[in-house]
Structure 1
Amino acid sequence: MGPILPLEAIIGVVRAYYVFATFFIVVLVTVPYLRRTLLAYGKATADRSPPKHFSLEQITVRKSWFWHFYALGLPWTCTLLFLYLKPESGFVTREAFDRSGSGRGQVGAGYVQPPIETVLALAMMVAQTGRRLYENFYVHVPSEATMHVAHYVHGLAYYFLTPIAVGIEGWRRAERSLGWTDLRFRHVCGIALFAYGWYEQHLAHVALADLRIPGKKKGTATSTTISTRNVYAQPKARWFKHVSSPHYFFEMVIYLSFCVLTGFENLTSALVFGYVVISLGIEADQSWRWYKAKFADEVPRNWKRFIPFVL
């Protein structure tokens, strides 16, 4: 009996998706109409006038639907973690390991991610999607802002494929025993970097929410009025003093931690990180330009777009 899912084919498809997505977003930036239509969302679309005739810009959904991404990503990542720890579940059969590994205890060729790295990566992804789902209900302030339906579909694909990407190369190994003796210095560094990025991104999201409604208490975001929801201001708390989008920067730090965790040997995770750097760098630039246009007198002189003190 062969594997229920062709492991190497899955790895190839996931890698191809992130290569294509990275290339596609770079192309979009070079075409002003597509950049304005497909990339801009949230506050960047708040001041748009309704088009007189039908256009691609009208095919939108509410930005508040972001919670769908995490509602998909959280249970899916938990499912993958369970399946990995229970190889007898049949996701990839024991017979497949024995036949394809030729006694070497692995399926296919190439880098084999150790069990501890696979489990830690999936656990980190659970923590990230779980926190983001929480924030969407208890921190973020809903607005009437929109995003293009293509952005929405990509978000769903991203949170379906990324949990696979950070752990799929660990499925090559048949032996999945775990122990504290497997812990390495790079694992500690990866976890620490993730925890710091995770915490700082949360604080940045809280700062943005508090800015929209001064004095807002957690859990009251959904009770605000439409007129209040659509108010924007210049953020100045913590890392916002140095960079326009610290929440994007710390998102990058979070995905960098997955690469550190695996010693930069997991090509699939590296491709995810490359996509995150390019896409969030572009979004950070758009956000910086929007703040510059709206709050020119309040923007610090050396305010960076994406990476504090650097870029």
Structure 2
Amino acid sequence: MVPRLEAELLVLNPLRAVWLTLAAAFLLTLLLQLMPPRLLPGCALFQDLIRHGKTKHGGPPRPAICRAFDVPKRYFSHFYIMSVLWNGFLLWNLTQALFLGVPFPDWLHVLLRLLGAAQFRGGELALSAFLVLVFLWLHSVRRLLECFYVSVFSDAVIHIVQYCFGLVYYVLVGLTVLSQVPMDGRHVNVIGKNLVMQARWFHILGMMMFIWSSVHQYKCHVILGNLRKNKAGVVIHCNHRIPFGDWFEYVSSPNYLAELMIYISMAVTFGFHNLTWWLVVTYVFFNQALSAFLSHKFYRSKFVSYPKHRKAFLPFLF
């Protein structure tokens, strides 16, 4: 069983290939941005695709053809609407499978198999995938509510390609979680037939990390939103100001750091050893690091008095 499990861990299935490719692409993009300005790719489309919101102002001049594909940044809420609906649907199917023994729909089972879901994952716990899917859904609900009631969006934009990618991302990440469920045909294989008995110490640790990271991300979004409001909570402008408080004392984009920590908490909930999810975490790391680096450059170029001790993404390091 052990050699078989080790061999399975080394298989590069379609899902792992996708996340590995995305991680490599964003790593390469980040490395390019770290190069001296004179060596940066001058392609306006390339710069337009990696920047969004305020960071588009720090890039090269945008030709009219690029501006033609702009989408309001406030459409970020659509990502979370998609996630709440789609991942809520997946969570409903998984809940029925775990507690009522209802098999997955044929089309969903076929899709999971095409993406690389394996049968009888030795040592995998159905509870881990269930908790991670719950975390993902709760995270999406919170972010959706923040988009409506906390964040104050300006007239900043994103590229239509970024918008489409964001919609597909939350579909793919939900399927990735569901593909980690141990299966017996179309049925979920629950070891011992008792989900509660699968509880392990890393489930508790992962849950605590998820809550801790989510609280800090919420605090950071409140701080950013309040920069554009008066004491009565009324929006008075959409300008950028230097944020202070909480993790902003250490990095320019603590909300991105908290996002990474949320995904790491899910890796912990999977028991540390889930290679597929660590590839997701790797992608999130480079994706958020790139956004944080570009935001850091924007702040430092716009504000002469910007705190010099702040790093872009990782406290004291980067």
AA partner of residue 277 (structure 1): F
* Residues 117-136 of structure 1 aligned to structure 2 (within 5 Å): 117-136=128-147
* Partner secondary structure for residue 55 of structure 1: helix
1:166·1:258 contact (CA, 8 Å) conserved in 2? no
How far does residue 296 in structure 1 lie from its aligned partner after superposition?
2.3
Distance 1:48 1:266, change over 3 A: closer
Moved more, 135-144 or 82-91: 82-91
What residue is the counterpart of 1:215 in the other structure? 231
Identify which of 280, 286, 300 aligns with 2:307: 300
How far does residue 185 in structure 1 lie from its aligned partner after superposition?
0.9
Q: Deviations over 1:249-297 (max 9, x none)?
A: 0100000011111122222211110000001011111111111001122
What residue is the counterpart of 1:24 in the other structure? 25
* Partner secondary structure for residue 169 of structure 1: coil
How far does residue 20 in structure 1 lie from its aligned partner after superposition?
2.0
AA partner of residue 273 (structure 2): E
RMSD (CA atoms): 2.6
Distance 1:128 1:178, change over 3 A: farther
Identify which of 154, 162, 165 aligns with 1:151: 162
Q: Deviations over 1:218-259 (max 9, x none)?
A: xx6xxx47xx22x11011121111110100001000000111
Distance in 2 between residues matched to 1:180 and 1:89, nearest whole Å: 18
Distance 1:35 1:28, change over 3 A: farther
AA partner of residue 142 (structure 2): R
1:69 lines up with 2:79 in the alignment? yes
Identify which of 196, 204, 221 aligns with 1:188: 204
Percent identity between the two aligned chains:
28
Distance 1:214 1:112, change over 3 A: farther
AA partner of residue 228 (structure 2): R
* Partner secondary structure for residue 314 of structure 2: coil
Distance in 2 between residues matched to 1:287 and 1:49, nearest whole Å: 15
Q: Which runs of 5+ in 2 are unaligned?
A: 1-11, 33-40
1:162 lines up with 2:167 in the alignment? no
AA partner of residue 275 (structure 1): Y
Q: Which runs of 5+ in 1 are unaligned?
A: 1-10, 101-105
Moved over 6 A (4+): 47-50
Identify which of 52, 65, 84 aligns with 1:55: 65
1:28·1:35 contact (CA, 8 Å) conserved in 2? no
Distance 1:138 1:242, change over 3 A: same
Q: Deviations over 1:18-64 (max 9, x none)?
A: 2222222334443353542101111112578975x543353110100
How far does residue 149 in structure 1 lie from its aligned partner after superposition?
0.9
TM-score in terms of structure 2 length: 0.80
1:210·1:216 contact (CA, 8 Å) conserved in 2? no
Distance in 1 between residues matched to 2:216 and 2:46, nearest whole Å: 29
What residue is the counterpart of 2:273 in the other structure? 265
2:125·2:181 contact (CA, 8 Å) conserved in 1? yes
Distance in 1 between residues matched to 2:151 and 2:227, nearest whole Å: 11
2:183·2:189 contact (CA, 8 Å) conserved in 1? no
Distance in 2 between residues matched to 1:302 and 1:271, nearest whole Å: 31
Distance in 1 between residues matched to 2:103 and 2:259, nearest whole Å: 34
Distance 1:47 1:214, change over 3 A: farther
Distance in 2 between residues matched to 1:121 and 1:185, nearest whole Å: 15
Distance in 1 between residues matched to 2:74 and 2:215, nearest whole Å: 22
AA partner of residue 71 (structure 1): I
The number of residues matched between the two structures is: 281
TM-score in terms of structure 1 length: 0.82
